[in-house]
Structures are given as structure tokens and as C-alpha cells.
A and B are shown apart, each in its own frame.
Chain A
Amino acid sequence: MFFMAVVVSLLLTYLSFKYLNDLAKFATNLSFIISGPTSKERILAYLWSFVLSTFPAFAAVFFGSPSISSEIETKTALHVFTLPIPRIILLIGKFLSSVTVTSAIVLTYTIFEVIVFQYLFNVLIIELLYSFLLTLMFVLAFSSVTFLISSLFNKNTYAYITALITYLLVFNAATIIIELLYSVTPYYLLNNAASITSRVYINIFFGITLSGGNTSPAPFSLIAYTSIVMFLYFIISFGITAVIFERKEVK
């Protein structure tokens, strides 16, 4: 996972240098007008963020999904559960380590991004920081969801598959249904809320049935709303996980 993040970052670095002067053409093709002092930087950052946005999700699934189910499947729980240590402490420890490793991957490609931007433009836009912090919030939220899924199963494979299906299929299916029925993008679904990590640069979105936006950064109200959504996913999922983990048995 870490290696892949490095490889993709290197590839994006190469493409950034090679196609920097074609950004205007890219924007024109999408019928967007590049204007403002940092528009070029924001479009390039948007492309970086768009390409790399799947990494935190896959890393969260990779590190979070087996966190509880593997304890039951491999029977390490028979040792750990009998120790005089509260299960909530065990859960917090596992969660923090999973979030830390996933965040390290985010940090890796963010460092690449910062170096490239510093070199190309000799300036660092504030949106880079916003995107980084929002990505960390997404890591927190989706890791929490993967922990919840992990707590429901006693086998790793089921946890992995369910976490992937939830993110790639269930959330998207729900998005399509809601967009078709109500013609609005449901930002209360985690996959849509997570798009804010790119939209802090330019507020365009390619929904499944709806598309739109402009080259301005996403408004503060949208950033605040999606942040609250992600925070709620984190709190609610973690709370339910803690209750299930407390009652978890090794038969």
C-alpha cells in the first residue's frame, strides 16, 4: 500500500512536470474558465487529489478490516481478552494504530505533492492544508466504518469483502438512487462527503448521475457540512464498534 502510494506519487510528479502547460487546455475541454491568481495551482492540486483519493479508502480497508475479526479468527483473542485490560483500551489502541498507518500513507503522497508544488510554482496554496486535514478526517471516519464492519465478523475475508462492497457498491448505489429520486447529491453519504478533499481546490464534481460546479474552491458551508458528516460517521461507527467489541465472544 505504502509502496503503491509512492509509485503513483512519482507518476503524478512526472505527469505534472510534463503536462503543466496543458492545464489550460484541460480546463477548456471541461468548459471551465481558469481565472484568479492560484487557479492553475488549484487545478493541478485537484487532479492530484482526484487520482489519490482512493488511497485512504483502500488503506483504511486494508488496515482496519482485519483489526477485530482477525483476533477471533486467529484466536489471539483467547490470550488478549483474558488480560486485565479494558477492551475499550484495546480497541482504541488498535484504532489509533490503524489510523496512524493510513495517515502515514496520506502524508507520504502529500509530501510529494508539496515538493512538486513548491518546485513548480514556488508557492504553497492554503487549500493543500485544507485537503490534507479533510483527508485525515475521512481516514478517521472510514477507518471507524471498517472497524464496525470488522466487529461484525469472525473471519477476515468477510470483513474485507464487506468493507469494500460497502464503499464501492453500497454507497454508490445509494447515491444513484437518491440522485435519481431527488436530484440532489447526498453529502450525508461518506463517499460524497469525501469528495470535499478535492473540491476544496475547485468545486466541480462528477456525480454518478449529476455533474456540475465551477473553478472556485468549495464554499465554507460545504466544507463545514461534510466535515460534520465525516465526524458523525467516526463517532457513531466507533461507538457501535465499542459496544459490539465489549460483548464479543470467542466460541
Chain B
Amino acid sequence: MSQIEVKELTKNYGSLIALDHFDMSVEKGECIAMLGPNGAGKSTFLKIATNVIHPTSGSITIRGINIGDDPMAALQKVGPLVELPEFYPYLNGKEILDFVCRVKGASREQIKSETERLSVLLSMNDYIDRKCGQYSRGMKQRLALACSMAMDPEILILDEPTFGLDPRGMREFVDIISDLNRKEHKTVILSTHLISEAREVASRVIIMNHGRKMMDMKNEKDISMMKITFSGTINGDAFKNDGMEIVESGDNWATISVRGMTGNSKVIEKLLSGGVNVNWVEPVNNIEKTYLELVD
């Protein structure tokens, strides 16, 4: 059984069709990036999936539970992050996490350990005790991600999780989401405007426009490939443990699958340490090409 099943999901705002008969099936452990321009329907879908808005027609089933019938049960194992949520300004980060953990049924000991774990993981130790009213946009985004990750959810639904973060923050987030998906086998659905982000974390990319699904890219070759040129030879087996795999190769060039390798610098670092004399590394922009073709 699919972990998330979306059938004929439609959302209208008056005469505006925000989501138009959207279908999707998500298997456990998938990491889906939803790409599309503003107004494509990405956020509308994620808001329906997290019970923030209600569909005009159609249904979403999460872990076999229809969110329209029993949203609480459906969302029990979901970690949501919708847009940039605000927090009650008179509470501090610790109290917010405490509240979220408590709502998710944590014991007093679990709340303490979970708050400590998340504040370390998301580098929030310096300001976790400060009132949320004093937080910057990036701090709020980190706290929001911490809330979504609290109490070990099976599914993460993240609406532009790196929006408003500085480059370092974006890198950290991408690494965290990547790890959660690959090492802990969490199912992740995220929306993003950044093709590079989608390529780095996603095992599947859905391109949306005008509320409709334009393309569902499940093939890893289309998503996370890099072309390298080098001097000398390359031994593909040497990189398998690092998550890299040679897909095609020729004289002094190779196309490699790099899913899980966040950032070009890491790819280059691994290749160099594997004895490859790298001249050039560039992403194979299948996503970008498809995106530009589909999105006018």
C-alpha cells in the first residue's frame, strides 16, 4: 500500500482553479521534490495535505487514513512545515517544541531529550531560550523545521523549507533532509523553486504548472546526474560506497549518478580522494531542461 495516495484532488478559489484533478502515489522512503512557478499549485497541495485548507473535491489518504475523514489520525505521523509559520511571540523556542512534542504524545523525559536533540541538530542552542518574537526569519524557519521533525515522524511535508535561509543554512537543511530520507528512510515531500535543491535531495521530481502535474520524473538518470571530465582513468567501483555510480563513460568523460552527494565540492572531493584527476564537473540539467520546456 502506498504511504500517500492522492486522487483527483481539486481546489478552487471562486473561478480560480488552484489545483486541478491532481493524482499522486507516494511510496515509503521516497523523496519527492515539487517544482513549479508561483501559483503552480505546490503550496495548495501541501496545505491540503496538512489540513490547513480543504479540497473542493478529491481525496488524500495518508497511511490508509483519509485526511478529510480523520485529519488527526492521518497527521499523527506527519511532520509538516507550511510556508513560514509564525509562532506565538510570547513563547520561547523551547516552549514551542515542548508544546509540539506534548501534542504528539511525548512523555516529560521524551520532551526534554527531543528538545535537546533538535536544538543541537538545527543549531538553535544560542537562541532556543529567547522569545519567538525576537527571532529572525531564518531562526523561525529552523524552529519550524524542528517542530516538523519532532517525535520522529514517518513523513515530512515541507513547503519551501530553505526559503529565507542564508547559504550556510540552506546547505545544512539540504544535508539534514537528505540524511533523514536516505539514512532514516523518511518519506519526504517538499516544494521548492530551486532546481539544484531538487536534484540534490529528490528521488523523484514532480513539475507542476497551473494546478496540474506536468511531469513526474522518477528516473534517477533524469534527476541527479553529473558529467565529469578527467585525465587518466576512473574506477567506478571505488565510489559505490559514497553513493556515486558511473552510468555512462567514454574517453576522459563519465556520467555519474550522485544522489546523496550534496554539493559539487563534495563530489569533486570524493573523486579526488578516489584518485581521479578531475578537470571539470557539471550537472546534467535534465530537470532544468524539462522544466523550461513545460513551464511557460
State whether these chains interact: yes
B295 at interface by CB-CB < 8 Å: no
Q: A250 contacts B88, CB within 8 Å?
A: no
Alpha-carbon distance between A124 and B76 when the two chains are bound, in angstroms: 54
Interface flags for B84-100 (1: CB within 8 Å of A; 0: not) read 11111000000000001
Least Cβ–Cβ distance between B64 and chain A, in angstroms: 16
A152 at interface by CB-CB < 8 Å: no
Q: B83 contacts A83, CB within 8 Å?
A: no
Q: A82 contacts B51, CB within 8 Å?
A: yes
Q: B103 contacts A85, CB within 8 Å?
A: yes
B185 at interface by CB-CB < 8 Å: no
B104 at interface by CB-CB < 8 Å: yes
A78 at interface by CB-CB < 8 Å: yes
Mostly helix, strand, loop or mixed at chain B's interface?
loop
Mostly helix, strand, loop or mixed at chain A's interface?
loop
Q: Which of B57-88 contact A (CB under 8 A)?
A: 71-73, 75-76, 78, 80, 82-88
A37 at interface by CB-CB < 8 Å: no
Residue of B13, B82, B104 contacting most chain A CB atoms (<10 Å): B82
Q: B86 contacts A83, CB within 8 Å?
A: no
Alpha-carbon distance between A84 and B53 when the two chains are bound, in angstroms: 15
A81 at interface by CB-CB < 8 Å: yes
Q: Which of A3-25 contact B (CB under 8 A)?
A: none
Alpha-carbon distance between A3 and B191 when the two chains are bound, in angstroms: 48
| A84-B104 contact given A79-B147, A250-B47, CB 8 Å threshold | yes
| A81-B87 contact given A86-B72, A251-B13, CB 8 Å threshold | no
Q: A78 contacts B103, CB within 8 Å?
A: no
Q: B86 contacts A76, CB within 8 Å?
A: yes
CB-defined contacts of B100 to chain A, threshold 8 Å: 83
Question: When the two chains form the complex, which single residue of A75, A77, A83, A250 contacts B103, counting CB atoms closer than 8 Å?
Answer: A83
Question: When the two chains form the complex, which single residue of B53, B71, B147 contacts A249, counting CB atoms closer than 8 Å?
Answer: B53
CB-defined contacts of B87 to chain A, threshold 8 Å: 76, 79
Q: B52 contacts A250, CB within 8 Å?
A: yes
Least Cβ–Cβ distance between B29 and chain A, in angstroms: 22
Interface flags for A220-251 (1: CB within 8 Å of B; 0: not) read 00000000000000000000000000010111
Alpha-carbon distance between A79 and B47 when the two chains are bound, in angstroms: 11
Q: A76 contacts B54, CB within 8 Å?
A: no
CB-defined contacts of A77 to chain B, threshold 8 Å: 52
Alpha-carbon distance between A249 and B13 when the two chains are bound, in angstroms: 11
Q: B86 contacts A75, CB within 8 Å?
A: yes
A74 at interface by CB-CB < 8 Å: yes
Q: A75 contacts B85, CB within 8 Å?
A: yes
Question: When the two chains form the complex, which single residue of B72, B83, B144, B147 contacts A84, counting CB atoms closer than 8 Å?
Answer: B72
Least Cβ–Cβ distance between B239 and chain A, in angstroms: 40
| A84-B88 contact given A75-B83, A249-B54, A250-B52, CB 8 Å threshold | no
Interface flags for A41-74 (1: CB within 8 Å of B; 0: not) read 0000000000000000000000000000000001
Alpha-carbon distance between A74 and B133 when the two chains are bound, in angstroms: 12
Q: B144 contacts A79, CB within 8 Å?
A: yes
Interface flags for A174-218 (1: CB within 8 Å of B; 0: not) read 000000000000000000000000000000000000000000000
Least Cβ–Cβ distance between A69 and chain B, in angstroms: 14
B50 at interface by CB-CB < 8 Å: yes
Least Cβ–Cβ distance between A174 and chain B, in angstroms: 33
Q: Which of A71-107 contact B (CB under 8 A)?
A: 74-79, 81-86
| A78-B85 contact given A249-B53, A251-B53, CB 8 Å threshold | yes
Q: B103 contacts A76, CB within 8 Å?
A: no
| A81-B86 contact given A86-B72, A251-B13, CB 8 Å threshold | no
Least Cβ–Cβ distance between A28 and chain B, in angstroms: 53
Alpha-carbon distance between A218 and B120 when the two chains are bound, in angstroms: 65
CB-defined contacts of A78 to chain B, threshold 8 Å: 52, 82-86
CB-defined contacts of B73 to chain A, threshold 8 Å: 84
| A79-B13 contact given A84-B103, A249-B53, CB 8 Å threshold | no
Least Cβ–Cβ distance between B83 and chain A, in angstroms: 6
Alpha-carbon distance between A56 and B71 when the two chains are bound, in angstroms: 37
CB-defined contacts of A251 to chain B, threshold 8 Å: 13, 53
CB-defined contacts of B80 to chain A, threshold 8 Å: 82
Least Cβ–Cβ distance between A71 and chain B, in angstroms: 9
CB-defined contacts of B88 to chain A, threshold 8 Å: 76
CB-defined contacts of B103 to chain A, threshold 8 Å: 83-85
Residue of B52, B80, B100 contacting most chain A CB atoms (<10 Å): B52
Sampled A-B contacts (8; CB under 8 Å): A78-B84, A79-B86, A79-B144, A81-B52, A82-B52, A84-B78, A249-B54, A250-B53
Known: A79-B87, A79-B147, A81-B51. 14 other contacts (CB 8 A): A74-B86, A75-B85, A76-B85, A78-B83, A78-B85, A81-B52, A83-B104, A84-B75, A84-B104, A85-B72, A85-B103, A86-B72, A249-B53, A250-B53
B interface residue numbers (CB < 8 A to A): 13, 47, 50-54, 71-73, 75-76, 78, 80, 82-88, 100, 103-104, 144, 147
